[in-house]
Homo-oligomer: A and B are copies of this chain.
Amino acid sequence: MAHTKLFIPGPIEVSEKTLKAFASPMMGHRGKGFQDLYAQVQPGLQKLFYTTQPVFVSTSSAWGVMEGSIRNLVSKKVLNCMSGAFSDKWYDVALKCGKQAEKLQVEWGQAITAAMIEAKIKTGEFDAVTLIHNETSTGTMNPLAEIAAMMKRYPEVHFIVDTVSSFTAVPIKFDELGIDVMLAGTQKALALPAGAAVFAVSEKAFKKAETLKDRGYYFDFLEFRKNHESNMTPTTPSISHFYALRSKIEDIMEEGMENRFARHLKNAEITRAWVKKNGFELFSEEGYASVSLTCVKNTKGVDVAKMIAALKSKYNCIIDGGYGKIKGTTFRISHMGDESTANIELLLSWLDDSLKSI
Q: Which residues of A contact B (CB under 8 A)?
A: 3-4, 6, 8, 10-14, 19-20, 22-23, 25-29, 33, 59-64, 67, 71, 92-93, 96-98, 185, 187, 193-196, 213-220, 234-241, 318, 320
Q: Please, which residue of chain B has its CB at the minimum distance from the CB of A233?
A: B61
**Secondary structure type dominating chain A contacts:** loop
Given contacts A26-B194, A93-B217, A97-B216, 19 further A-B contacts (CB under 8 A): A11-B28, A22-B240, A23-B23, A28-B320, A60-B218, A61-B237, A63-B217, A67-B218, A96-B215, A96-B216, A96-B217, A96-B220, A97-B214, A97-B217, A187-B236, A193-B240, A194-B238, A195-B239, A195-B241
With A236-B185, A236-B194, A238-B194: A63-B26 Cβ-Cβ less than 8 Å: no
User: Do A193 and B239 touch across chains, with their CB atoms under 8 A apart?
Assistant: yes
Of the candidates B6, B33, B215, B241, the one whose C-beta lies within 8 Å of that of A27 is B6
Minimum-distance CB pairs A-B, first 8: A195-B238, A98-B214, A23-B23, A11-B26, A61-B236, A63-B235, A61-B235, A93-B217
Instruction: Write out the residue numbers on chain B whose beta carbons fall within 8 Å of the beta carbon of A22.
Output: 22-23, 240
Q: Please, which residue of chain B has its CB at the minimum distance from the CB of A65?
A: B218
User: Do A6 and B26 touch across chains, with their CB atoms under 8 A apart?
Assistant: yes
Bound form: Cα–Cα A58–B127 in Å = 31
Instruction: Write out the residue numbers on chain B whose beta carbons fall within 8 Å of the beta carbon of A239.
Output: 11, 193-195
Bound form: Cα–Cα A52–B338 in Å = 43
Of the candidates B4, B11, B26, B214, the one whose C-beta lies within 8 Å of that of A236 is B11
Of the candidates B26, B67, B195, B215, the one whose C-beta lies within 8 Å of that of A217 is B67
10 contacts between A and B (CB under 8 A): A6-B27, A22-B240, A28-B320, A60-B235, A61-B237, A63-B217, A64-B64, A96-B216, A195-B240, A196-B238
Q: Please, which residue of chain B has its CB at the minimum distance from the CB of A241?
A: B195
Interface centre among A25, A33, A62, A92 (most CB of B within 10 A): A25
User: Do A4 and B27 touch across chains, with their CB atoms under 8 A apart?
Assistant: yes
Bound form: Cα–Cα A185–B23 in Å = 18
Bound form: Cα–Cα A288–B194 in Å = 39
Bound form: Cα–Cα A20–B234 in Å = 28
Q: Please, which residue of chain B has its CB at the minimum distance from the CB of A187?
A: B236
Instruction: Write out the residue numbers on chain B whose beta carbons fall within 8 Å of the beta carbon of A14.
Output: 25-26
User: Do B26 and A23 touch across chains, with their CB atoms under 8 A apart?
Assistant: no
Q: How far does the Cβ of A193 sit from chain B's closest Cβ, in whole Å?
A: 5
Instruction: Write out the residue numbers on chain B whose beta carbons fall within 8 Å of the beta carbon of A213.
Output: 98
Bound form: Cα–Cα A8–B29 in Å = 11
Q: How far does the Cβ of A259 sit from chain B's closest Cβ, in whole Å?
A: 24
Instruction: Write out the residue numbers on chain B whose beta carbons fall within 8 Å of the beta carbon of A60.
Output: 59-60, 64, 218, 235
